Amino acid sequence: MHKKQKIYLSTTIAIILVVAVIIAIALSYGPSKVNNSTEKNAQANNSSTVTNAPTDAAAAVNNPTATASGKVNNVTKSPANTASSTPIKVASSDKTINFIVSSTSGKAGQTVKVSVDISKDSTMSAAKIELSYDNKLLDLVTAVKGTALSLGICAFHDEKSEIIGKKTLEYINLDPMNKAGSIMELSFKIKAGVVPQKTLLNLSVLELTNNTYKNLPYEITPGAISVVS
Protein backbone atom coordinates (compact mmCIF):
# COMPACT_ATOMS: atom_id res chain seq x y z
CA MET A 1 0.00 0.00 0.00
CA HIS A 2 2.72 2.44 0.85
CA LYS A 3 4.37 2.01 -2.56
CA LYS A 4 1.05 2.48 -4.41
CA GLN A 5 0.32 5.67 -2.47
CA LYS A 6 3.68 7.12 -3.53
CA ILE A 7 2.93 6.33 -7.19
CA TYR A 8 -0.54 7.89 -6.89
CA LEU A 9 0.87 11.00 -5.22
CA SER A 10 3.56 11.41 -7.87
CA THR A 11 1.00 11.09 -10.68
CA THR A 12 -1.27 13.69 -9.04
CA ILE A 13 1.59 16.15 -8.62
CA ALA A 14 2.60 15.67 -12.28
CA ILE A 15 -0.94 16.36 -13.47
CA ILE A 16 -1.13 19.50 -11.29
CA LEU A 17 2.16 20.76 -12.73
CA VAL A 18 1.01 20.16 -16.32
CA VAL A 19 -2.26 22.03 -15.67
CA ALA A 20 -0.34 24.90 -14.06
CA VAL A 21 1.97 25.14 -17.06
CA ILE A 22 -0.98 25.17 -19.49
CA ILE A 23 -2.72 27.93 -17.49
CA ALA A 24 0.47 29.99 -17.39
CA ILE A 25 0.92 29.66 -21.15
CA ALA A 26 -2.71 30.59 -21.77
CA LEU A 27 -2.48 33.67 -19.57
CA SER A 28 0.72 34.89 -21.17
CA TYR A 29 -0.31 34.21 -24.80
CA GLY A 30 -4.05 34.82 -24.95
CA PRO A 31 -4.37 38.57 -23.99
CA SER A 32 -1.37 39.46 -26.16
CA LYS A 33 -2.93 37.85 -29.20
CA VAL A 34 -6.28 39.51 -28.56
CA ASN A 35 -4.68 42.93 -28.11
CA ASN A 36 -2.55 42.51 -31.22
CA SER A 37 -5.57 41.48 -33.23
CA THR A 38 -7.52 44.50 -31.96
CA GLU A 39 -4.64 46.83 -32.81
CA LYS A 40 -4.30 45.33 -36.26
CA ASN A 41 -8.03 45.82 -36.89
CA ALA A 42 -7.82 49.41 -35.68
CA GLN A 43 -4.83 50.07 -37.93
CA ALA A 44 -6.65 48.49 -40.85
CA ASN A 45 -9.69 50.73 -40.25
CA ASN A 46 -7.53 53.82 -39.94
CA SER A 47 -5.64 52.89 -43.08
CA SER A 48 -8.92 52.42 -44.94
CA THR A 49 -10.18 55.83 -43.87
CA VAL A 50 -6.99 57.63 -44.83
CA THR A 51 -6.77 55.83 -48.17
CA ASN A 52 -10.36 56.54 -49.22
CA ALA A 53 -10.30 60.26 -48.39
CA PRO A 54 -7.94 61.36 -51.17
CA THR A 55 -9.71 59.07 -53.63
CA ASP A 56 -13.06 60.68 -52.86
CA ALA A 57 -11.55 64.15 -53.08
CA ALA A 58 -9.93 63.35 -56.40
CA ALA A 59 -13.24 62.02 -57.68
CA ALA A 60 -14.95 65.25 -56.68
CA VAL A 61 -12.34 67.30 -58.55
CA ASN A 62 -12.29 65.12 -61.63
CA ASN A 63 -16.08 64.78 -61.75
CA PRO A 64 -17.71 68.03 -60.59
CA THR A 65 -21.03 66.68 -61.82
CA ALA A 66 -21.15 64.41 -58.79
CA THR A 67 -21.11 67.41 -56.46
CA ALA A 68 -23.51 69.64 -58.39
CA SER A 69 -26.69 67.57 -58.58
CA GLY A 70 -25.95 66.47 -62.09
CA LYS A 71 -25.32 69.97 -63.36
CA VAL A 72 -22.10 71.72 -64.31
CA ASN A 73 -22.21 75.48 -64.77
CA ASN A 74 -25.92 75.26 -65.63
CA VAL A 75 -24.85 73.86 -68.90
CA THR A 76 -27.35 70.81 -68.76
CA LYS A 77 -28.96 73.39 -70.04
CA SER A 78 -31.75 73.15 -72.26
CA PRO A 79 -31.41 76.31 -74.49
CA ALA A 80 -34.88 77.75 -73.70
CA ASN A 81 -34.06 77.81 -69.97
CA THR A 82 -31.29 80.44 -70.51
CA ALA A 83 -33.35 83.27 -72.00
CA SER A 84 -32.70 86.76 -70.64
CA SER A 85 -34.50 90.06 -71.10
CA THR A 86 -31.15 91.67 -71.98
CA PRO A 87 -29.56 90.52 -75.25
CA ILE A 88 -25.96 89.40 -74.86
CA LYS A 89 -23.43 89.60 -77.65
CA VAL A 90 -20.79 86.94 -77.17
CA ALA A 91 -17.33 87.15 -78.69
CA SER A 92 -16.70 84.03 -80.74
CA SER A 93 -14.65 82.66 -83.59
CA ASP A 94 -17.85 81.45 -85.26
CA LYS A 95 -19.29 83.20 -88.26
CA THR A 96 -21.38 86.24 -87.33
CA ILE A 97 -25.09 85.77 -87.99
CA ASN A 98 -26.88 88.70 -89.62
CA PHE A 99 -30.51 89.41 -88.78
CA ILE A 100 -32.19 91.95 -91.06
CA VAL A 101 -35.65 93.38 -90.45
CA SER A 102 -37.15 94.59 -93.70
CA SER A 103 -38.67 98.04 -94.18
CA THR A 104 -41.82 99.13 -95.98
CA SER A 105 -44.29 101.97 -96.24
CA GLY A 106 -48.03 102.47 -96.31
CA LYS A 107 -50.90 104.83 -95.63
CA ALA A 108 -53.00 105.03 -92.49
CA GLY A 109 -55.53 102.20 -92.51
CA GLN A 110 -53.48 99.99 -94.84
CA THR A 111 -51.93 96.59 -94.03
CA VAL A 112 -48.25 96.14 -94.80
CA LYS A 113 -45.90 93.17 -94.62
CA VAL A 114 -42.38 92.85 -93.24
CA SER A 115 -39.99 89.99 -92.62
CA VAL A 116 -37.05 89.09 -90.40
CA ASP A 117 -34.30 87.46 -92.45
CA ILE A 118 -31.25 85.43 -91.42
CA SER A 119 -27.94 85.02 -93.24
CA LYS A 120 -26.63 81.78 -94.73
CA ASP A 121 -24.70 79.14 -92.75
CA SER A 122 -25.79 80.48 -89.39
CA THR A 123 -25.46 77.04 -87.64
CA MET A 124 -28.33 78.17 -85.40
CA SER A 125 -30.07 75.35 -83.54
CA ALA A 126 -31.93 77.26 -80.82
CA ALA A 127 -33.11 80.85 -80.66
CA LYS A 128 -35.41 83.22 -78.88
CA ILE A 129 -35.99 86.38 -80.90
CA GLU A 130 -38.25 89.30 -80.08
CA LEU A 131 -39.63 91.93 -82.45
CA SER A 132 -40.99 95.08 -80.83
CA TYR A 133 -43.18 97.76 -82.44
CA ASP A 134 -45.13 100.91 -81.54
CA ASN A 135 -48.49 99.68 -80.33
CA LYS A 136 -50.01 103.15 -80.64
CA LEU A 137 -49.37 103.26 -84.37
CA LEU A 138 -49.54 99.62 -85.48
CA ASP A 139 -51.76 96.60 -84.99
CA LEU A 140 -50.13 93.23 -85.48
CA VAL A 141 -52.38 91.21 -87.81
CA THR A 142 -50.45 88.00 -88.49
CA ALA A 143 -47.10 86.43 -87.62
CA VAL A 144 -45.90 83.13 -89.08
CA LYS A 145 -42.58 81.34 -89.34
CA GLY A 146 -40.51 82.09 -92.41
CA THR A 147 -39.32 79.86 -95.20
CA ALA A 148 -35.92 79.29 -93.56
CA LEU A 149 -37.63 77.52 -90.67
CA SER A 150 -39.08 74.66 -92.68
CA LEU A 151 -37.63 72.23 -90.14
CA GLY A 152 -37.59 72.36 -86.36
CA ILE A 153 -40.13 73.44 -83.77
CA CYS A 154 -41.43 77.02 -83.60
CA ALA A 155 -43.66 78.83 -81.13
CA PHE A 156 -44.90 82.44 -81.05
CA HIS A 157 -45.77 84.53 -78.02
CA ASP A 158 -47.44 87.94 -77.74
CA GLU A 159 -46.87 90.70 -75.23
CA LYS A 160 -48.50 94.11 -75.27
CA SER A 161 -48.46 97.26 -73.22
CA GLU A 162 -50.05 100.64 -73.90
CA ILE A 163 -47.00 101.69 -75.89
CA ILE A 164 -44.97 98.67 -76.99
CA GLY A 165 -46.10 95.48 -78.65
CA LYS A 166 -43.82 92.44 -78.80
CA LYS A 167 -43.85 89.27 -80.86
CA THR A 168 -41.47 86.56 -79.69
CA LEU A 169 -40.32 83.59 -81.72
CA GLU A 170 -38.84 80.52 -80.02
CA TYR A 171 -37.12 77.99 -82.24
CA ILE A 172 -35.27 74.72 -81.67
CA ASN A 173 -33.85 72.08 -84.01
CA LEU A 174 -31.23 69.39 -83.44
CA ASP A 175 -29.77 70.07 -86.86
CA PRO A 176 -28.01 73.42 -87.36
CA MET A 177 -29.59 75.84 -89.82
CA ASN A 178 -27.59 76.51 -92.97
CA LYS A 179 -29.90 78.19 -95.46
CA ALA A 180 -30.67 81.88 -95.66
CA GLY A 181 -34.16 83.33 -95.78
CA SER A 182 -36.94 84.65 -93.60
CA ILE A 183 -37.49 83.33 -90.10
CA MET A 184 -40.52 85.55 -89.33
CA GLU A 185 -43.12 87.01 -91.67
CA LEU A 186 -45.47 89.60 -90.19
CA SER A 187 -48.26 91.88 -91.32
CA PHE A 188 -49.19 95.13 -89.59
CA LYS A 189 -52.18 97.40 -90.03
CA ILE A 190 -51.35 101.07 -89.74
CA LYS A 191 -53.96 102.55 -87.46
CA ALA A 192 -56.42 105.03 -88.84
CA GLY A 193 -55.56 108.65 -88.24
CA VAL A 194 -51.81 108.11 -87.98
CA VAL A 195 -49.99 111.06 -89.48
CA PRO A 196 -47.00 110.56 -91.79
CA GLN A 197 -43.97 109.43 -89.83
CA LYS A 198 -41.44 106.65 -89.52
CA THR A 199 -41.81 103.99 -86.82
CA LEU A 200 -39.04 101.51 -86.05
CA LEU A 201 -39.24 97.73 -85.84
CA ASN A 202 -36.59 96.67 -83.35
CA LEU A 203 -35.26 93.14 -83.01
CA SER A 204 -33.77 91.68 -79.85
CA VAL A 205 -31.93 88.37 -79.71
CA LEU A 206 -32.58 86.88 -76.29
CA GLU A 207 -30.94 83.54 -77.03
CA LEU A 208 -28.90 82.16 -79.92
CA THR A 209 -26.95 78.88 -79.77
CA ASN A 210 -25.74 76.06 -81.97
CA ASN A 211 -26.48 72.37 -81.38
CA THR A 212 -23.81 72.17 -78.66
CA TYR A 213 -25.42 75.08 -76.76
CA LYS A 214 -22.61 77.45 -77.66
CA ASN A 215 -23.58 81.11 -77.92
CA LEU A 216 -23.29 82.51 -81.43
CA PRO A 217 -22.28 86.06 -82.43
CA TYR A 218 -24.78 88.19 -84.34
CA GLU A 219 -25.54 91.60 -85.81
CA ILE A 220 -28.96 93.19 -86.20
CA THR A 221 -30.24 95.61 -88.80
CA PRO A 222 -33.55 97.09 -87.58
CA GLY A 223 -36.44 97.78 -89.92
CA ALA A 224 -39.08 100.47 -90.14
CA ILE A 225 -42.56 101.23 -91.43
CA SER A 226 -42.94 104.64 -92.98
CA VAL A 227 -46.43 106.09 -92.83
CA VAL A 228 -47.05 108.18 -95.94
CA SER A 229 -49.83 110.49 -96.93
**pLDDT tens digits for range 126-162:** 999 999 999 999 999 999 999 999 888 999 999 888 7
Enter the pTM of the model: 0.58
Alpha helix stretches (DSSP H) within the chain: 2-62
Highest mean pLDDT among 16-25, 53-62, 79-88, 208-217: 208-217
Can you give the C-alpha Rg of the chain in angstroms? 42
Amino acid found at 36: N
Return the domain boundaries, the chain.
2-65, 81-228
State pLDDT tens for residues 28-84: 555 444 344 444 444 444 443 333 333 333 333 334 333 333 333 333 333 333 333
* Predicted local distance difference test score (pLDDT) of residue 229: 93
Once rounded to an integer, what is the mean pLDDT over residues 89-118? 88
Per-position DSSP letters for 81-96, written without gaps between them: GG--SS------SSPP
Fill in the amino acid letter for 77: K
The 104-107 sheet, strands edge to edge? 104-107, 223-228, 197-209, 126-134, 164-172, 153-160
Q: Which residues of 210-222 are buried (b: 16+ CB within 10 A; e: fewer)?
A: bbeeebbebebee
Architecture of the domain spanning 81-228: Sandwich (2.60)
pLDDT of residue 52: 38
pLDDT on residue 23? 65
